[in-house]
Chain A
Amino acid sequence: MSEQAKAANITEQAAKGGVLLKLIIFSLSLGIVPISSYFLSEKYVWNGNSNYAAITAVFAANIVLVTYIILSILEDRPPAPAASTDPKKNE
């Protein structure tokens, strides 16, 4: 039980620094990207048409979401070596 706790601690510390930074970046971008894309696209791209600017903002927010999902799936690959050392420790 203590070996599993140690393995969990190692993976946790390895992941903690990178995970927190990623989460901070995504939280900020989820707040900043849609509103900034709304106002910037309304002014420079759509010549004052606010409905198209709203659609652009919704697109931008969904792009942030899809990026987060892809990043979380890609993050799953590295912890495989940590899992393979567990049977050796249990012996």
Chain B
Amino acid sequence: MTDVCPAYAPFFGFAGVASSMIFSTVGAALGTSKAGIGIAGLGTFKPELIMKSLIPVVMSGIIAVYGLVVSVLIAGGLDPSKDYPLFAGFIHLGAGLACGFTGLAAGYAIGYVGDSCVRAYIYESRVFVSMVLILIFAEVLGLYGLIVALIMNTKATEARCP
């Protein structure tokens, strides 16, 4: 093993895979649980609005899907039979962290927005459109992290072992 392709380089690659899934799932769990509190409050008054009020929960699930896609993407680039430079290891770690922490932020925002807007939807039905708009803005935070992870991942195949 050389300095450019050390034996511990896959540690960073797999840390990227794990962190992408872990942190985006934490964000999705925060979003689902916080929005679920509001939905439980709405369900006691107006059970016919439950399909609409579950939109924050579905969006939190999409955040977890973003983390899953990045994990699968990074894991697909890891192969024990090929050379793995430390450069690629750091790239994969950065990509996983970028997607994971932005997913955490997006899930947190979706949870709080979903809780408050779903409770307000009982009294004023025009809150629905603004709720969907705010949730979309919160979700594109996770999408930005995924885009950065994809851009970083395209550079991971360019380094070679000497």
Contact = CB atoms under 8 A, between A and B. Distances in A.
B122 interface: no
Q: Which of under 10, 10 to 19, 20 to 34, or 35 or more describes the interface residues of B? A: 20 to 34
Contacts of B48: 8, 11-12, 15, 79
Given A51-B150, A54-B150, A8 B47 contact: yes
B5 to A, nearest CB: 22
Interface stretch (B9-17, B71-79, B83-91, B111-119): B71-79
Contact of A34 (B54, B65, B77, B153): B65
B21 to A, nearest CB: 13
Contact of B50 (A19, A53, A61): A19
A69 B132 contact: yes
Contacts of A54: 69-70, 72-73, 146, 150
Contact of B68 (A12, A23, A35): A35
Nearest to A74: B51
A53 to B, nearest CB: 8
B62 interface: yes
Contacts of B150: 51, 54-55
Contacts of B58: 26, 30, 65, 68
B87 to A, nearest CB: 18
Contact of B69 (A27, A34, A72, A73): A34
A15 B47 contact: yes
Contact of B153 (A19, A51, A79): A51
A58 B65 CA distance: 8
Contact of B59 (A51, A58, A65, A73): A65
Interface of A: 8, 11-12, 15, 19, 22-23, 26-27, 30, 34-35, 38, 50-51, 53-55, 57-58, 61-62, 65, 68-69, 71-73, 75-76, 79
Q: Which 7 A-B pairs have the closest CB atoms?
A: A72-B51, A72-B52, A12-B47, A61-B65, A54-B73, A57-B69, A11-B48
